[in-house]
Chains A and B, each alone.
Chain A
C-alpha cells in the first residue's frame, strides 16, 4: 500500500516536473507566437492586443498554472497554425501510436523469447552463431530504414500490403491492425535482437549455477530444468530491459509512422515542430510523458514481482 502511494506521488511529481520543464522551455525561447501568427506586417498595437488575448504577458508560473489546470480539464490550448483546439487534433491519434508501440512490444517478445532460448540451448553451434550474426546486424539497422526495406520487399516486390494504404481504426479495426504489422515489425526487430542477445547470455550464465546441477540430479530432463528453473531467473534482466524498451517503442513509433504514412502522433508532431506550432508540440510531449510514466508505473511492480530479491520499498 505504502509502495503504491509512494509510486503515485513520484508519478505526479515527475509528470509535473516534465510538463513544467517543457512549458518553461517553450516560454523562454526567442520568437513571438503572436508575431508568427499575425505575420511581419502586423502593427505593434495588433501584436500587443493578441499577446494580451493569448495571455503571453503574465508571469511564467501563472501561465503554467492556468495551462496545467485547463490541460486537466481537457483543454490543451489552440493550435497556432490551424486555429483549432489541440485536444481535438491529437486525442484520436493517441490510440494509433499506442497500438503501434504495443504491437511492436508484443512482436519483440514473440521474436526474442523463442530465438533466445533456442540459441542458448545450442550454444556455440551453428544455429547459435547464425542467430548471433543476424542479431548483430539487425541491431545496427535504424528502424526507419528497416521500415523502408520492409516497404520495398513486402510492399513493392511481394505486394503483401499497399504502402501508404493506412486503414483507420474507426472504420476497420482488423485492417488497421493488419496495416500496422510491418511498421511494428520495423520497430520490433532491432529491439528483439537486443533482447534475445541478453536472454541468451542470461540463460547460459544461469545454466552454470549449482542449482541447475541439483535440478538435474533430481532426475529432471533438460527441458524441465530450462523451463522450470533456469528461465525464472534468466528472465529477470530481460524483463527489466523490455520494460525500458516499451518507452523506446513510443519514440520509435513517432519515426516509423512517417515511413508508412500512418497519421499518428508522430505525423502531427513533425508538422507542428516544423510549423513552430508550440501548443500542439507541448501537448503531444506532455501526452507522451504521461504514456511513458504510466508504462513505468505498470512495469515496475511486474519486475519486482518476478524477482523477490527486489523488495517493494
Chain B
C-alpha cells in the first residue's frame, strides 16, 4: 500500500516544474565520464556521435577524391599506380555510400525522429547503441585495412569474377564484403527502431496526416532498408563463401552465374540510392515549410510521392545492367519503370516550387542549400531520365557521364539538403547558431565548385572517357577538361573546409540559439536547445501537422507518467490515441560488449569458416547478458 502511495508521488501530475525536471533528469541521465559514454542509450548522444563519425568518413572520402583528381589531372601521371588507384576509388565509393551517406541519413533520423514525434527516446535504445558500435567497427575495419595496403580494389560494386576467388587474391575483397555486413547490420537495426518509433511512439494526437514530412521520409526509407539490405547480405555472404569455403555461386564452370551477382547487388544497389535520397527529400520539405513561412503545399501528394518512390525503387535495378545483354523486351520494361520514377520526383519538385511561390521566403543559409539542391537535383534527375533509356545508356554507361549523373544526384540531391539540414538543426544539436556569413561562403563555394567539377564530366563521358581508369593516354582529347575538373575540385574542397571550420567554431562559440530560433512549426523546437535527456518534461499533444504555428505559446500536454522510471507513451498506429505506458530501457554496457564479440566473429570469419562456430559462443554470452531479465515491472496499459 505504501508503495502505491510512493509511486503516486512520482507521477508528473504531483510534481511542480522544477522538481519534475530534476526527477526526470535523474531518471534519464547519462553517467559522466568514459563509463557513461560507453553505456549510454540516449538517442541524442548516439545520434550526435553517428553524425560526427559519418562526417569524419566524409572528410576521409573527400581526401581520396582529391587524390584521384590529382592523378587524373594529367595524362599518364604517376601520382598513384594502378594498384593504389583501384584501392582509392573503391574506398571512395564504398566509404561514401556505406560509411557516410546511408549512416548520416539514418543518424539524422536517430537524433530527430524521436524529437519530432514527441517521445523521450527511440524504440529499442540498446539496439541503437549496438548499431553505432557496429557501424564504427565496420568503418575502422575498412580504413585500417586500407592503411595496411589491404584495402579492397574491386570497385564498390565488387563485380564477380573480378572480386571472386580467382582474380582477387588475398583478403581485400573479403574485407569489402564483411564491411558490408557491418554496415547492413547497423542500418537494419536503425531501420527497425525508426519504424517502431514512428508507428508506436508518436505524441498523442499525431495521426498519420500530421506526421512531419521528414519523419514520413525516414519511415519510408526504413522500409526500403529492411527490404533492400537482405539482398546485398545474401550477395556478400555468397561471395565470402565462394572465396573461403569453395562454393560455386558465381562460378559459371560449375553451374554458378556471374550475372546473379549483378542482379542481387543492384536489387539492393538501386534502392540504396533512394535510401540516401528520401531522407534528403524529407529535409527539403521541412526546410521549405519553415523558410517559406507556410505549410508545405501538397502534403498528401508528397507523402504519396515518397511511398511511390520507395516502391518503384525495387523495380528499376536492371537499368544498371543495360549492356549485359539481357533480353530487349525486358530492358524496355525497365526503361519505362526507370522513367516512371520521374513522376514522383516531378510531383515533389512542383510542390516545393508552389510552396515557395505562395510563401514568403527567408533567405537564410539552409534555404540557399535547398535552392542549390533544386537547381542541381533537377539536372541530376534529367540525366537520370537519359540513362534510363537503353540506347542512350549504351553510349554513356560506365563513362564519366554516369559519374557526373550520380554525383549530381547524390551530392546535389542528398548532400546539399544535408548541409542545409545541418545549418537548420545545428542550434538544436548544440544550442548554438552557425554563422550566416561563413554559411553563405560555404554555400557559394560548394555550389560553384560542385558545378565546375562535375558538369564537364558529362562532356568527358560523351567524348568517350570510361570510368575507373587510373590514367589515359595523351593522344586522347581529354586532358584539358580533366585538368579543369581537378582544379575546380579544389574550390569544392575549400567550400567543405569552410563548412567544417564553421561547424567547429560555432559548436564552441556560436551565438546561443534559444528554443526555436527559426520559428519552425514542428515538435523538436518545442523543447530546449539542446534538449534535456528526457526530451520533453510533459509529452505534447498535437492537433495539427504544424503544432507550433497552430498553438503558439504553449502546447497541450499529456500527463500521468512516472518520473522515477523511464516511461514513454505508446499510441495507436493510425490516429495516435494513447494506449499504454511503457518502460524504456536503462543504460547498459551490453550493447558495446555484444558489438565487440560480433566484430571479433565477423572479422575472424574472413580468415576461417570456423569463426562462425567458435565466434558465436561469445556473441551468445553477451546476448544473454543483454537480455537478462532486469525485474522492471511490466507495461501498464
Same complex origin of A and B: no
Query: A residues touching B (Cβ–Cβ < 8 Å)?
Result: none
